[in-house]
Each structure stands twice: as C-alpha cells, then as structure tokens.
A and B are shown apart, each in its own frame.
Chain A
C-alpha cells in the first residue's frame, strides 16, 4: 500500500503565482485533511473533507481552496501565492472522525 501520496515534495513560487498540491490515498478513508506546519508552531488545519463532494474550512483557510471529487483525491489549490504561505504542507487521512491520522511525506513550499 502506498498510503498517502503528496506531490510535489518541493516547490518554489513567485509572489502572485498559483499552484496545486496533489494528495491521494489508497486506504479508502473518508476523512482527509490539509495541514500546514511552521517552525515553532503546531500543525494548523487548512481544510478538511468528510467524504467525496464535501469540504469544510479549518483554522487557516484564507488563500487556499480544495475540492474532493473522489474518495481518493484531495488537492489543495493556492491562488495568488504570498510569502506568508511559505510552509510545509501535510495531507492526511483517517478512517473515521477522531481516528489515527496517516500523513503524506509533506510538501515544502517557498514563496519568494
């Protein structure tokens, strides 16, 4: 099993550019999440989804968008990148609400 797969692992963006971070899981999990991790701070939830076609905002959704057209895929879209979006992004999934999280390897994004 591949688990949770994220791409790309590294990316440098210029201010104002847009990009999509891809996330796919093969565990048939209903719940999927996008977090960002900044130095010295806890993981912050950006968006989450409880199933295909259903998404909801987390703690820090501004500047991001998501979609969940299938159970497997949960891409994160950054529109008009800003330096404040420089971070490490983790996609995660869980079987149920409150369950153990399975994380992807992370995507390190730098906005210059």
Chain B
C-alpha cells in the first residue's frame, strides 16, 4: 500500500530552527509537496521537489532523497506565525496526491 509518515507534533522555540521529516512509500513518484495549514484554514503551498537535493525559499527549505523515500522541511528563524500544521504529499505514478496526516508545529516564545 501507499504510505506517508510524518511526526504528529513537534515543539520548537521562537528564533530557532526545526526540521520536519517525511518518509514515503508510494506506487511511483512524480514529486513531493509541502503545504502549510493554519488551524481552521485551508492548506497553502510551500514547496515542490521532484529531483534530489535542497530547494531553498527564504526561511523555508525542502530536501528530497528519492532513493531513501525521504524528505524534510527546514524552517529557520522561527516566528510565532509559523505555528501551523505542515502537510507532506507525494504524487504517485498516476499523478494522484497521497497525503500525510500532517505535523502540528507548536512555537514557544
């Protein structure tokens, strides 16, 4: 079966760095997405990786290793507004998105 695993919850301190991991087992691979979802709101797009390596976008970076079925989202200089759930989603060989349950990130002052 197809599976996406990510930690349920993480806590970090304002100003620090946090890494949210995502491992996946899917039927084929056509890219991995990260979305941010604030409580009670819709998910919004953060990043897309299809090739191995690191993609940097401001304070957020996303890494992919296709051979290991592994990705992480790195958030630097954490701000209180980064408190949200972070959703990992993999596009399989049929271009269907398989979603993880999300990681709830709590930022403490």
Report A's interface with B, CB cutoff 8 A.
40-45, 58-59, 90, 97-98, 100-106
Contacts and interface: CB of A to CB of B under 8 A. Distances in A.
Contacts of A90: 42-43
Contacts, number: 45
A40 B99 CA distance: 12
Contact of B91 (A42, A43, A98, A106): A98
Contacts of A40: 8, 101
A52 to B, nearest CB: 19
B102 A42 contact: yes
A110 to B, nearest CB: 15
Interface of B: 4, 8, 30-31, 33, 35, 41-45, 48, 87, 89, 91, 95-102
Top 8 A-B residue pairs of the complex, sorted by shortest distance between their CB atoms: A42-B99, A103-B42, A43-B99, A100-B45, A97-B95, A42-B101, A98-B95, A42-B100
Given A40-B101, A42-B102, A59-B96, 13 more contacts: A41-B101, A42-B87, A42-B101, A90-B43, A97-B95, A98-B30, A98-B95, A100-B33, A101-B33, A101-B35, A101-B43, A102-B45, A105-B41
A109 to B, nearest CB: 15
Contacts of B95: 97-98
Contacts of B45: 100-102
A90 B87 CA distance: 14
Nearest to B46: A100
26 contacts: A40-B8, A40-B101, A41-B101, A42-B4, A42-B89, A42-B99, A42-B101, A42-B102, A43-B43, A43-B89, A43-B97, A45-B96, A90-B43, A97-B95, A98-B30, A98-B31, A98-B91, A100-B33, A100-B45, A101-B35, A101-B97, A102-B45, A103-B42, A104-B42, A105-B41, A106-B42
Given A42-B102, A43-B87, A98-B91, A105 B42 contact: yes
